[in-house]
């Protein structure tokens, strides 16, 4: 099943609403059972159950976050979406804990059977904390 541009736009708007509501169950509804997710640290999850487990703590303990959509590009023929975003949340960077952090990144989203099958997330290596540019702390 190939999605039309309108269907991708509708799916994407509904998916963003679920994120805005911090509703993990609703967010998970948009993923294919075989979802592959790769995050900005290089960590990954395969399958809905593994992804839910990976995100559960984030949704429960870091609920004060907001993704702001800056722009997106839809490729209907290849069933892909490029999503540029800004994340606003309390920082977890050493020495900046709890201060407002702005992080920018891009997601490359692939669709199969009307669901998100692949979500690849890339983030800048610097972020902004209360107007100050800060290099990300490396994670190993």
> Integer distance in angstroms from the first to the last C-alpha of the chain?
39
Distance CA 94, CA 91 (A): 8
Helices (H), the chain: 5-20, 24-28, 48-61
Each residue's pLDDT expressed in tens, for the chain with a length of 140 residues: 899 999 999 999 999 999 999 999 999 999 999 999 999 888 999 999 999 999 998 888 776 899 999 999 999 999 999 999 999 999 888 899 889 999 999 999 999 999 999 999 999 888 899 888 888 765 54
Do residues 43 and 36 touch, judged by C-beta distance below 8 A? no
**Are 24 and 52 a contacting pair, CB within 8 Å?**
yes
Which residues have CB under 8 Å from 12's CB, separation 6+? Answer: 72, 81, 83
Check residue 54 and report its DSSP letter: H
Burial of residue 59, with CB atoms counted within 10 A of its CB: 0-12 exposed, 13-18 middle, 19 or more buried: middle
Level-2 CATH architecture, domain 5-135: Roll (3.10)
């Amino acid at each position: 099943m190939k999605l039309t541009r309108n269907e991708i736009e509708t799916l994407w708007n509904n998916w963003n609403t679920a994120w805005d509501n911090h509703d993990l169950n609703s967010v998970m509804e948009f993923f294919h059972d075989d979802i592959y997710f790769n995050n900005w640290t290089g960590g990954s999850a395969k399958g809905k159950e593994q992804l839910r487990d990976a995100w559960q703590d984030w949704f429960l303990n870091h609920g004060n976050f907001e993704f702001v959509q800056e722009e997106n590009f839809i490729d209907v023929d290849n069933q892909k979406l490029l999503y540029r975003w800004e994340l606003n949340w309390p920082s977890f960077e050493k020495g900046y804990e709890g201060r407002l952090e702005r992080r920018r990144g891009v997601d490359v989203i692939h669709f199969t059977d009307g669901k998100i099958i692949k979500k690849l997330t890339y983030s800048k290596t610097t972020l902004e904390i209360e107007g100050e540019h800060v290099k990300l702390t490396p994670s190993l």
